[in-house]
Amino acid sequence: HGSYNQKIDYVFKIVLIGDSAVGKSQLLARFSRDEFNVDSKATIGVEFQTKTLDIDHKTVKAQVWDTAGQERYRAVTSAYYRGALGALLVYDITKRESFDHMARLIGNKSDLGSLRAVSTEDAKEFAQSQNVFFMETSALEATNVEPAFVSVLTEIYRIVS
């Protein structure tokens, strides 16, 4: 009970950005439904998932948008970003180029340490130089997924409240 008639204090749209196959859709599945699909298909059509959570005793509904696999074509449209208050920029710690393409950072697949191609130190140093948040996650093992989303939502909350 509780979630049915819950009063929503805030709705925050955030977007997931990053190269194809870095794990954006699985991070969202983990965050919104606590699921992980080993055989995830490329996302079809722009879609979003919502999750309601408490931040500072307020009820915040996160509306998290996932790209339609258009990331390959650099064709994500302005509608995707419209109204977004924050973004998680995701790279794959085992794919150097997925990091080089990024400005700011969620290093996903932290469970694949033996295949690591981007060191935590490199990413941390870069994030500090850009003054942006940085965290490594694993959608597979459910490591740091909620904290990654909560950190961006909390930052938005601090700005708008």
Q: Is 43 in the site for Mg ion (CB under 5 A)?
A: yes
Number of residues this chain uses to bind ligand GDP (CB under 6 A): 18
Residue 109 has, within 13 A of its CA and on its CB side, a CA count of 23
3 state SS of 149: helix
Number of residues this chain uses to bind Mg ion (CB under 5 A): 3
Q: Which of 80, 108, 134, 156 binds ligand GDP (CB under 6 A)?
A: 108
Cα–Cα distance measured from residue 96 to residue 82, given in angstroms and rounded to the nearest whole number: 29
3 state SS of 82: coil
- Measured in whole angstroms, the distance separating CA 80 from the mean position of its chain's CA atoms is 14
Which range in 2-10, 24-32, 56-64, 122-130 contacts ligand GDP by CB under 6 A? 24-32
Residues within the interface to Mg ion (CB under 5 A): 24-25, 43
* Residues at the contact surface with ligand GDP, assessed by CB under 6 A: 18, 20-26, 38, 40, 43, 108-109, 111-112, 138-140
